[in-house]
Amino acid sequence: MQANVPLSAPSLPLAGIRVVEFTHMVMGPTCGMVLADLGAEVIKVEPLAGDSTRKLLGSGAGFYPLFNRNKKSLAINLQSLKGREVVLRLIATADIVSENFKTETMQKLGLDYASLRGLDERLIYVSHKGFLPGPYDHRTALDEVVQMMGGLAYMTGRPGDPLRAGSSVNDIMGGMFGAIGAMAALMQRQHTGKGQEVQSALFENNIFLVAQHMLQFAVTGKPAAPMPERISPWGIYDVFAVKDQAQIFLAVVGDTQWGVFCKAFAYADLAADPRTATNNDRVRARSWLIPLLRERLAQHSAQELTAVFEAHGLPFAPITDPQHLFDDPHLQQTGGLAPMELPDGRPTTVPLLPLMLDGQRLGLRHNPPKLDEHGMEIVRGLGYADEEITAMRKDGILRSAAFEVAAPNAAPTP
């Protein structure tokens, strides 16, 4: 299969939409990334020292390059009146403002929705918070905080050992819902001529993720067991240890598949056993059936099992580390990975949004921007003359080479 050619910028659905974002970490930047991938011009407003996310280590090292692709960068001192004047002029050209800072921070800068909506009734303002307005909205939230209090860590871990999910699921999904809300507001603006505030929150996103388990209790009257202890709805739905200390996930999720599975492995005894006749029978038989299958399947290699399951249309999955996905043949051949340059100049590839429009992927138009990479372009576009820009750089309002020396004393801004 040939790699898909990404859609060109004018063909993208949000071409012509300008977004100004005051975001950091994951949630807010994800919203901007989705809008940017869909064609919007997204301008990331950063402090003179840059978004602190650029410097994260460990599991945060990938945040900035992933969630800030397809954007432009403007570094500016928002603690100054002149800096705020420049940003307000920029917002006057925008369709959407997106932020994920504390409400009081945006209020002090005069960049909250209440302050901005009076300047332009068509403006759409997307606010990403820990909690929607209510008893908890004063709390500081993180993905892990809401996973713990929202039941997800309980469901992921073993009994008595809550465990966060292995990705920033609430931050990412919260940003996605912010983008969905922004697009809904754009649609409504076509009819009303007015913008609105969109709010997305980590806690409420987490509740949406565990809603299936809440409704499981509503239907059955029994609390949902953590995933390692759950009663699977399928007879065979497990990770199996096989030859050469390998592991593979195998599933047989229906009666037809059970017949195919037994025939493929010549398990005539299991096919004829009345205790395995239906899926629900096999669920009840798991206490003896799974150990028996573990013993039998352990005689095969992961490659052998992959070949049999794939040939017969049975569900299976290798157990894969994230770094090996760069070499995944499906992602490579279908255009799921796009070439990208990291901010330090090194080449890599990056996963694209998991969707296609008119048979094509949404590609990479801009690498994650270097700090203030587009500052001159953006400020000139607002009507400032070069001498004004030079003066603002000299006065510490816009970033300049001299800032590298003064950076330790620079005031923090969102």
Residue 256 shares a structural domain with residue 342: no
pLDDT at 412: 43
- 38 & 162 share domain: yes
Residue 3 in domain: no
User: What whole-number distance in Å separates Cα of residue 327 and Cα of residue 325?
Assistant: 5
Picking from 287, 304, 322, the residue at the C-terminal end of a domain is 322
Could you tell me if 318 and 337 lie in one domain? Answer: no
The domain that contains 341 carries what CATH number? 3.40.50.10540
pLDDT tens figures, 207-250: 999 999 999 999 999 999 998 888 788 999 999 999 999 999 99
- Where does the pLDDT of residue 1 fall: very low under 50, low under 70, confident under 90, or very high at 90 and above? very low
In a domain, 377, yes or no: yes
Residue 13 lies in a domain: yes
Asked, for residue 221, whether it belongs to a domain, the answer is no
Same domain for 315 and 334, yes or no, is no
What is the tens place of the pLDDT at every residue in 8-26?
666 899 999 999 999 999 9
Closest CA to 393 of 404, 408, 409: 404
**Residue pointed to by tokens 């490659």:** 303
For the chain, the C-alpha Rg in angstroms (whole number) is 26
Are both 155 and 32 inside the same structural domain? yes
- Asked if residue 44 and residue 181 are part of one domain, the reply reads yes
Number of domain units in the chain: 2
Is residue 4 one of the residues assigned to a domain?
A: no
Domain that holds residue 306: 232-322
The verdict on 137 and 247 lying in the same domain is no
Residue 224 belongs to some domain of the structure = no
Shared domain for 121 and 180, answered yes or no, is yes
Is 173 a residue whose pLDDT tops 70?
Answer: yes
Q: Are strands 316-318 and 236-241 parallel, antiparallel or unpaired?
A: unpaired
State whether 236 and 196 are in the same domain: no
Q: Are residues 302 and 334 in the same domain?
A: no
pLDDT tens for 364-377 read 999 999 999 999 99
Helix (H, G, I), strand (E, B) or coil at 197: strand
Name the residue among 306, 328, 304, 303 with its Cα closest to residue 316.
306
Nearest-angstrom CA–CA distance, 91 and 73: 14
Residue 396 CA: distances (Å) to CA of 83, 90, 363, 399, 413: 9, 18, 36, 7, 13
Residue 409's pLDDT is what? 44
- pTM (2 decimals)? 0.91
